[in-house]
Structure formats: structure tokens, C-alpha cells
Structure 1
Amino acid sequence: MKNYPHIFNDTGIGTWKYNVQTGDIECNENWANILGYQLSELEPMTSKKWADLFHPKFIDKSEVLLKEHFEGNSNFYQCEIRLKHRQGHWVWIMAKGRLETRTPEGQPLLMVGTNQDITEKKNTESLLKKYQDLLDISNNVVKSGTWEIDFLKKETTWSDYTKKMLDVPKDFIPETENTLNFFPEGKNRVTILNAIKTAVYKGRKIDLELKVNTHTNIKKWVRIIGVPEFKNKSCIRLYGLIQDIDESKKIQEDTAIREEQFRQTFEHASIGMALVGLTGEWLTVNESVCKILGYSKKELYKTTFREITHPDDLEKDLTLLEELLLRKRESYHMEKRYFRKDGAIVWVNLSVSLVRNDMGEAIHFVSQLQNITEKKALIETMKDQNKRLINFAYIVSHNLRSHTGNISMLLAIMASEIPYFSENEFYENLKLASENLNETVQHLNDVVIINTKLYDNLESLNVHTYIENAIATVKGLTETSDVTIHNTTNKNIEVSAIPAYLDSIILNFITNAIKYRHPNRKSMIEVFSAIEDVYVVLNFKDNGLGIDLETYGEKLFGMYNTFHNQKDSRGIGLFITKNQVEALGGKIAVESQVNQGTTFRVFLKNATH
């Protein structure tokens, strides 16, 4: 160092000579400058001053390496240490030295060495490590690893994530042969081989989606990207990425299958299906739409639904579409009319929903059209026929009532004018037949009245009050029959009904329960209520004779059907009651067991809906 001081000064390397026995240290100017000092500021330098400049974390490490060198276990001392700069920050130093002489007793005496500032190098290494960490993180996120084939060194290398992707251990050494084995024989292996050859000999990049078999024999989709590197027109290296796309590929395949299923369903559906633009243009229609409207697809794509909608239905349709766009509803249904190409009017049951993108923006409408023209015509025909039948029944009941009244009157006159006539055995038979005929005509008239009052205005009626009134009406009958009635219906529930009908319905079920009570036990009738959907359900439960529903269930509400040997049973009450309930938009259900009792469940429209 004495002979060549200018070499060290020019390179910025600090030199030092350390007397191990005395602790004295001789340094050059560079040694001091690395730490921001002038040499004169540090002189005399001792081992103690040097130790004060050491980062505490590196003192033990340095001492261990020095000891190894002094004991002859290493040819030289080399240690990366950190020393404190004059401005307070820490400087990375590569300290190297060698023991030159020993004392006569063999103890270390003189050691010489160098200090080199490697702060920039260490910072670069730290930055590279951060970048590598970020790369590893990004590789994990995007499920990709790196690979390289070095043709000069004849080496193949894989990154850790590549090995993880292919289920091989970290110490796995890839080679040309075992690498190709990961690609299934046939199309996949041939494709990757051809791609490598093309890259090596023609300089083309690789970008393929192929199937591989992992080391654990799991099949998965990967994307292979490769870039050739040339020198003197020869490929010296091929490197790139391998990305796990198995999940996205399967989603893509599943989506393709679903899209094909939707396309097939859409195209061959028995009902009309269409995608309609936000301004009313037909975007896509199936054959059923063309059949319903009489247009070809090409003709429909040149028009809008507005142009072929009946003007009386257009405003309602547009209003509902606007509500879809404003998120006031998810979908809507309506019956509307279109003009066919031939000018005829076609009725359809239209269902419409709105499709939005991920941003919530409206894209298009989905419409379903079901041709109900024949159904509408049939309904109109049935309405007309129903009116005629009601008129016919009214005329028949009116005329029969006149004739039966005349027969009854003539029988009374004959009995009055010809006394012995009433003594004739046929008189009583004629009288009974006349009375039965009158009763039958009255029943027919009741049914006609029910059907002709279908369009009367309904009222909101308090159920509890009407039941209490019915109980009061039959009070004498309950006392003589020893029957107890419990009314636990909700006092605030109201139904939509005609007052006379509600009176008749409640009274009929209560008197039926009294009439068909069990003779061998105390008779109880419970009336309670419940809410189910849009209905108020009135339950009439008794512990009477019960009904054999397996035998008589289908005949229960038929006209003139009786199921017990009661003298005054006519089989008309339940028939009329059922007609009244259905005329109010309700229904009846029954549960019964012989000798245990019966529960009639009467469903009437809730007035609050």
C-alpha cells in the first residue's frame, strides 16, 4: 500500500493497517472521506474509535470473522458492515483484510485491509428484492410464472410459481424431455413443439392456450407466452411466461355452453321472445315472434314495436317501460294488441323485463309474447253464452214459478169447491208434488239471483259482527239443541262481500253444524279466523257426525246430495253456499273424519287488499 498509494486514492478505496496488539490503526484519506470526515479529524485512530463507528448489529459478526481468521480458519477477513457517517446515517462498507505478521509467540500482530463503500450496491440489491417481491406477488395474483431455455448453457429454468403451478417440488430440475411430458400426447404436444421450432428458426413469438398434465396428473389450461432472443442470427435463448388460466377457461367454456343453450331456447321457444332496444327497435327476435306478427325477421328489424302496436294499448305499454327504466318495477305483464302484417289484430300476453350492465345502465328489454287471440275470442264467446244462459235460467225460473203457482192455486180451489176431492188418495200426492216443485223452482231462482248479482258493488264487512248476529239469530235453536258456539274471530278483520251473501254463508255453516251434531256428546262449534295471502279464512269447526270424504268428497257441494239420514235434508244448502262464496271471488275447503267432526274453511277476499 506504501508503494501504490495513488491507486487506492484514485479508486476511492479506504486502506487501513491495524496493530492487533496495541489497537492502533493507520488509515488513508479515503477511509475517512467515506464516512464524511477528514483524516485529521479522526487521528489518532484506535480500535475503540473504530468500534464506536460500528452499527451495533454488525459488531458480533465482525468479531467472529476476525477470530476465525486469526485462528487460521480462513485465508482472509471479509465482512459487510455498516459504519456511521458524520451526518448520522449509516454507510454500507465491504471490509477486507489479511493478517500479515504475528508475534514471536504466534499471536496476531499486524493486519492490513481495505474499506469499500457499497451503499449504492446494497440499495440496488434492496430495490431489486422489492421488485422481486412485487413480481412474486403479481405472479400469484395473475397466476403466472416464468420459464427460460438457455441454448448456450443448455439449461432450462423455471420460477418457483411455475413449479408450484405444475405441482413439482422446488428442487425439480426441468429438462427438455421432462418438460415436454407435461403436455399430453397428441394435439397439445405437437402444437408446443411446432411453436418452439418456429420461434427458434423463424423468430416468431409464442402465445398459445394449451392443456397440461401436472406432476400430480391434474389436467389444467395454461397460457404459454414465449420470446426468442437472437445473437448473430442464432437463437441463444427462449424465455417467457406460463399463466394458469384453468379457472377462466372453464368459466369461458361454461359461458359458451350457457350462451348456446340460451340461443337454442330463445330460437326454438314455443312463445315469442325478443330483445328490444331502448328506443323500441327490434334487436333480435325468434321464429315464434315472426309467426305471431306475420313479419320476417328482416322486416321486423326495420321497424319498432310502437309502429305495430294498437293505439289504444300504446300509452299503457310506454308508461310501464318508463317505470322499468326508473327502477319502479322489475318487470311487467299486460295484454295488448298488435297489428299483423296482413292488417289483422292479434292479442298477446306480453311480459317485459330490463337488462342492465355492471354499471347499472340499461342495455335492452327482454320481451315474451304469447298469442292469446283464440283465448280472448273464446272468453268473449263464453261471456256471451253465459249471459244467454243466465237470461234463459231467469226466464225458465220466472215461467216455472208462474206455472207452479197456478198449479198450487188450482189444487187449493178444487179442495175448497169440491170437498170430497181432498179426501182422494191422489190429492195428497199431487199436493206434495206441487210443494216440492215450488221448492225446486225457488232453489233455481236463488241460484239465478246469485249469478245475476255478480256485478253488484261489494262492501267491506266486519266478519266478527256478522258472526255474532248469526249466533243471536240461532240462539233458540242452540238452546234447545244444547249446542255451544265460540266466536274467536279477529274483531278488526273485514272482507269484501255482499251483506245478504255473508249472512247466508255464515248462517248456513252454523245451522249445518247444529243439524248434524253428534247425539252422544256435548256439541261444540268453534268459529275462528286467519289471514292467508289475499284471503280472510273463516273456520267453522264442529265435533259432530263428520263426513266420509273418500266416499262423498266429490259430491259434497252438488245439488240435492245428502250424506246423513236427516228428515229435513234437501242437499241444497252447501250448493247455494258454494255458489255464493265463489261469486264473491272465494273458495271453500273441508276437513272431516266420521264421528269426530268437520271443519269448513271459507276463503273470502280481504277488504284491505
Structure 2
Amino acid sequence: MYRSVLEGTRIGTWQWNVQTGDTVLNERWADIMGYTLAELEPVSVDTWLNLLHPDDVADSDAQLEAHLNGKAPFYDIKCRMKHKQGHYVWVHDRGKVVSYTADGQPLMMFGTHADITQQQLSEIALLHSRDELYKLTQQLPGVVYQYQSWPDGRSAFPYASTAIEEIYGVTPEEVRHDATNAFAKIHPDDLGLLVDSIERSLETLNLWELEYRIIANNDSFKWLSGRATPERMPDGSTLWHGYIQDITQTKEHYLKLEELNQQLNVAQQSLDLASEQAQIGYWQASLKQGTLWWSPMIYQIFGLNEQDFSPSVSLFKRAVHPDDVSKVEQSEDQARITGIHNVIHRIIRPNGEVRWVHELGQLVSEDKNPELIMIGSVQDITDRMKLQKIKDDFISTVSHELRTPLTSINGALTLLQSGKIVSLPEKAQKLMDIASSNCLQLSRLINDLLDIEKLAAGKMLFEMKPLNVPPLLQRALNDHQPYADLHNIILELQYASQINDMRIYVDEHRLLQILTNFLSNAVKFSPQNGQVTLSASVIGDQIEIAVQDQGCGISDDFKSRIFEKFSQADASSSKVKGGTGLGLALCKELTEAMHGKIGFNSNLEQGARFYVRFALTN
């Protein structure tokens, strides 16, 4: 029976006389090392020692010594033995002293010799895999873990990477058999949520996922994100395999972003409300791609249903009043140069209603904006234009009604001043001079009002033709020389010789009207013995005509209103210098009507420089 057991289990056997060293081996013992028993003859204890791996000799001696001295019940060792072919095989040797000499010394020792090469290699591979897994988990920012829950309420973390200490503040050993220490770290407000989520995953065996907080050692809290897959175990427990990571920084950024989004939504709602009340819509357009985006308010302004139409350049063009298309296109072309799109025009709604809108946009320079993106606004100003029309009609009516009696008054005053009818005392003559001066001032105001009214109504006629610039400049200077002499101001004319052969396409009378306004303002606001310079220069394909004074300049808070009607920088100054506040507004209207551009440069105490620019022509 014993022989059958040995043959069935393929176990080698050995007998060793401890006192004499005689050794008996069976055939299987030799076969494990690739030998026959005959090849190993003569057999002795040295047969064992010669085949034992040198690195395992010390361990074998220690195990044998412990058993022989009674410190270990068996001699038990796993070691390597050299195979006949040169490689090593793993064997498991177990033995026991079975008899002793009369004086109590170990005599006979019997044992077994089993081939465990495959088992040992598998264990080594497993240990190697565990080592690799350990190294990998140490590189992860979170904890790789197994969490187990039993029906009796017990729970533990059978496995957790060392990162659990960084995240939960507990070591893997502290929670290997009891998870209480880990649960004690959960934020009280999130503990119930965590327990419920685990219960749902346990019941359904669905993926467990949750973001929750734990209390750190400094009483602050961390945000964690957990994810694990459950598995039912044979003992009725449930084992989750998962990963938990610290997401505090990401969560804080997310919460901050959520707060900002909420603020943005409030701001957007406020903007939409303000947009609706002010009848202002917003848009963004790519001048290169031809794409267009509208805010919802623009659909209302244009009388369109947002569900039925998508914004496009062609849709916008179809809505523009036919008489205003060229004006809009001119402003768009100008925006490519100046970066500013500013135009007031009419649109026609699908129901035929005509509305007035004010478009204002800005284009970022092309080097920073390759798609030529322009952003801007559209405001419905129909009511404002109606009021403006009523005001203009009233001013026009009043101006016309005043013009006839004012002409008669001026004629009468001129006759009285001439002395041909009657000689007036000196005091009365001064009063007549004051009356005449005020009459002329009122006459200029009425003329300016009527000119502006004609421009707004499109009724002013222009005699546009190509003109040489130098004769115009000289005429304007000559016309103002007496006025300059009266104020002790020096007038100077400057231009490059190349301008002699250049021409611009303008109305001569209206251009002189503009220069007259520039020069009179410059003389009025220049100090005694100051100098006013009228100049012309070439800028690209345009000629710039400018008037520079040496006055006090224009304050920053007035610069944005300088071309508005009835706009004056200082009311007290206007009383001293004289003026209606219409001159520059009229100059702007005249310049733009002749397809030119008007502008100014000024610094306080350094004077002001007003200019107009017109394209060169043949």
C-alpha cells in the first residue's frame, strides 16, 4: 500500500543514518533530478549536498540543526537541486528522526522528496506580479482598493494601496479587517449619502460612483471621487474593486466655475432685460467667412421669428432699406480701414413696416484677428428719429419764419448805422453796433440750422468737381486775414510742392465753409500774438487739410461730444468768444456728405488741430 501511495504521488524517499552517514534513496528521488539511481551510486549524504544549490546550503543546515536539536518537529525546506541537464528544479524536502541511540542521539531519519518546480515558479510569478502591481499603484495619485461588506454589517478593505494613508489618513493595516476608521473620516453631511449609494450598489450589483467629502487632520475637508465594481462572493459578502482619488482642487475649480456661471447667467439675464428695454441687440460677424450671429433681441428689431430664420449676411442685406444700402456698404468698407462701423439706416420688416436702427461695431486689427471678426450692436431708434424729425421740422419752421423779419431788421440797422437817415449820438451808435452784431450772429445761427436741416433731409445740393487744393487754401486764408488781424493772430499756410498737381473731388463752396469754421474757431481760441497754421499733406491716397491753433486745447470729457449739435465746451467761454455750437456739427455733416472724413487731435494747453481728408482724384 505504501509503495502504491508513493508511486501514485510520485514522491521520492530517503533514509539517512545520522551517525554513520549511510543514505538510501528510491528511484523517484533520482528521477526528479534526471538521473537513474544507478547513475548516482555510491549514494551517501554527499550525493544530496553535491546537488544542492550553493545559496540554499546554509538554510538547509539551519533547518536540519533546528530539528535535530528538538527546536522544530520536522526538517522542512524548499530548495533548489541541480538537474542532470544543468538547470535547477525546486524540491520540497520533509523529514523526521524516527530512532535514537542508547544515549539519546538522533540515529535514523526518514523523509520525502517532492518536485514542486511548477508550484514554486507559479508562486514566484505571482509574487513578481504583486510586486509590479504594488509599484504601479504607488505611482497613482489615488488609492486602488478592495472593499468588502458582509451580511452581518461588518466591512473592511482587504486590499488598499499605500495611497489610502494620504487620502484617508489611515494605513492599509488599520482597515484591512475593519473599515470603521475610514468611515469615521467621512464628512457628516455626506455620510448618509455614501451609505445609501453603497446599499444601492450592493442590491443591484451596479457600478458604485460618488463624489463626497472627508475631514482632514487639520479640520479642513477634501473632495474624493470613488468608483468601484461589485462582485458577490460565495460567503454572501460583496466585494468591490475600485479606485478613489482626491479631486479637491478640481472640485474647487468646478464649484468656482459653477458660481461664475451662475453669476454669468444673472448678468446675461440682466443684459437681456436691459437689451429688451433699450431695444439693443448684439451681433458678431466674420467679414472673411461671411458668418453672422445675432442675439434674440435683433430678431425682434427686424420683426423675424427666431425659430424660422438663421442669421446671415444675405438676410440682413434683404432687410436694409434700398435707399440706405450704399450707406451701409460704405460704412462696412470704412470699418476695414478704421476698425469702426457706425451707421444709422432704415430697415424694412417682413410686414412692410419701416424702422430706423443704429449699427455700431468694432473690428480687431487683422494681425490679432485673422477671421476679421467684428462685434457690435443694433439699436432700434425709430422713436428717437421721430422726435428728431419733429424737432428738425420745428427748427426749420422757426428758422424760416425768423429769416424774413431778421433780414428786414438787419437792413434797418445797417441804414441807421450808415448815418444817411439820421446822425446818432455816440451812446446810441454803440447800442446800434451791439444790435447789429447780435443780428448777424442770429442770422448765422439760422443759416446753420437750415443747412443742417437740408443735410438731414437730403435736400442740400452739392456741385462736386475736381479742384486743385492750393488755390482753395489761399482763398480761405485771404478771407480770414482781416479777422485774424483784428485779434492780432498770424495766419500761415504750409503744404508740400507735390500738392500743386493734385486734386480732390469736392464742392468748393462747402469746403470753404468747413475751412471758414476751422479758421474762425482757431483765431477765436488762440492767445494774443498767437499763430494759426493752415496746412495740406498727402496721406496714402488722400489729402489731409488741417488747421492748427495755439489755444488751450480740448478737455477729455468734451472730446466725445465735440461734433454734436449745440455742443460747447464751456458756456462762459462761448459768451466771450461767441458761437452757436452748430459749426462743427455742420462741418461733420458736410464732410461726410462729400465722402470725406473729419477729425481732430488735441492736448490741454497745447492747442487743437482739426482736419478733413478727401480721396485724390484725376
TM-score (norm 2): 0.52
SS across alignment from 1:270 = helix
Shift of 1:375: 1.6
- What is residue 149 of structure 1 aligned with on the other side? 148
- What is residue 407 of structure 2 aligned with on the other side? 398
- What is residue 161 of structure 1 aligned with on the other side? 163
- What is residue 5 of structure 2 aligned with on the other side? none
- What is residue 387 of structure 2 aligned with on the other side? 378
Q: What are the Cα deviations for residues 561-592 of structure 1, in whole angstroms up to 9, with x where unaligned?
A: 33xxxxxxxx437979767777765579785x
- 1:301 pairs with one of 292, 298, 307: 307
- What is residue 182 of structure 1 aligned with on the other side? 185
Q: What are the Cα deviations for residues 174-231 of structure 1, in whole angstroms up to 9, with x where unaligned?
A: 6332222122225x21233344455556756533332322333332333333444334
- Distance across 2 between alignment mates of 1:453 and 1:192: 80
SS across alignment from 2:191 = helix
After superposition, where does 1:325-340 map in structure 2 within 5 Å?
A: 337=347, 339=349
1:6 aligned partner, one-letter code: R
- What is residue 572 of structure 1 aligned with on the other side? 578
Q: What are the Cα deviations for residues 99-121 of structure 1, in whole angstroms up to 9, with x where unaligned?
A: xxxxxxxxxxxxx9999697887
After superposition, where does 1:471-486 map in structure 2 within 5 Å?
A: none
- 2:570 pairs with one of 530, 549, 554: 554
- Distance across 1 between alignment mates of 2:148 and 2:315: 67
Q: What are the Cα deviations for residues 247-301 of structure 1, in whole angstroms up to 9, with x where unaligned?
A: 454455455545555555555613246999x9xxxx9987x78986889xxx753
- Distance across 2 between alignment mates of 1:340 and 1:468: 51
Q: What are the Cα deviations for residues 122-148 of structure 1, in whole angstroms up to 9, with x where unaligned?
A: 6776566556555554x43xx564342
- Distance across 2 between alignment mates of 1:328 and 1:222: 55
2:236 aligned partner, one-letter code: S
Q: Is the contact made by 1:80 and 1:94 (CA closer than 8 Å) also made in structure 2? A: yes
- 1:221 pairs with one of 223, 246, 258: 223
SS across alignment from 1:193 = helix
Percent of aligned positions with the same letter in both sequences? 9
Q: Is the contact made by 2:551 and 2:606 (CA closer than 8 Å) also made in structure 1? A: yes
SS across alignment from 2:274 = coil
* Distance 1:578-1:271 versus aligned 2 partners, 3 A rule: closer
Q: Is the contact made by 1:309 and 1:339 (CA closer than 8 Å) also made in structure 2? A: no
Pairing 1:601–2:608 present: yes
SS across alignment from 2:391 = helix
After superposition, where does 1:492-531 map in structure 2 within 5 Å?
A: 498-499=511-512, 501-502=514-515, 505-506=518-519, 509=522, 513=526, 515=528
Q: What are the Cα deviations for residues 144-174 of structure 1, in whole angstroms up to 9, with x where unaligned?
A: 6434237599742432233323355677656
Pairing 1:270–2:287 present: no
Shift of 1:386: 4.3
Shift of 1:374: 0.9
Q: What are the Cα deviations for residues 429-476 of structure 1, in whole angstroms up to 9, with x where unaligned?
A: 4544444443333334444555566666799979xx889979x96999
* Distance 1:224-1:24 versus aligned 2 partners, 3 A rule: closer
Shift of 1:235: 0.9
Pairing 1:440–2:449 present: no
Aligned residue pair count: 472
Shift of 1:500: 5.3
* Distance 1:11-1:125 versus aligned 2 partners, 3 A rule: farther
SS across alignment from 1:209 = strand
- Distance across 2 between alignment mates of 1:399 and 1:73: 144
Q: Is the contact made by 2:225 and 2:247 (CA closer than 8 Å) also made in structure 1? A: yes
- What is residue 313 of structure 1 aligned with on the other side? 320
* Distance 1:173-1:501 versus aligned 2 partners, 3 A rule: same
- Distance across 1 between alignment mates of 2:338 and 2:585: 37
- Distance across 1 between alignment mates of 2:124 and 2:309: 72
- Distance across 2 between alignment mates of 1:80 and 1:539: 107
Q: Which runs of 5+ in 1 are unaligned?
A: 18-22, 32-49, 51-61, 99-111, 354-361, 416-421, 518-523, 530-534, 544-551, 563-570, 592-597
Shift of 1:11: 7.9
- Distance across 2 between alignment mates of 1:196 and 1:204: 10
* Distance 1:438-1:199 versus aligned 2 partners, 3 A rule: closer
1:380 aligned partner, one-letter code: K
Q: Is the contact made by 2:282 and 2:294 (CA closer than 8 Å) also made in structure 1? A: yes
Q: Is the contact made by 2:161 and 2:172 (CA closer than 8 Å) also made in structure 1? A: no
- Distance across 1 between alignment mates of 2:438 and 2:35: 130
- Distance across 2 between alignment mates of 1:473 and 1:329: 36
- Distance across 2 between alignment mates of 1:132 and 1:13: 41
SS across alignment from 1:241 = strand
After superposition, where does 1:49-60 map in structure 2 within 5 Å?
A: none
Q: Is the contact made by 2:137 and 2:144 (CA closer than 8 Å) also made in structure 1? A: no
- What is residue 192 of structure 1 aligned with on the other side? 194
- What is residue 357 of structure 1 aligned with on the other side? none
- What is residue 356 of structure 1 aligned with on the other side? none
After superposition, where does 1:73-112 map in structure 2 within 5 Å?
A: none
- Distance across 1 between alignment mates of 2:572 and 2:496: 29
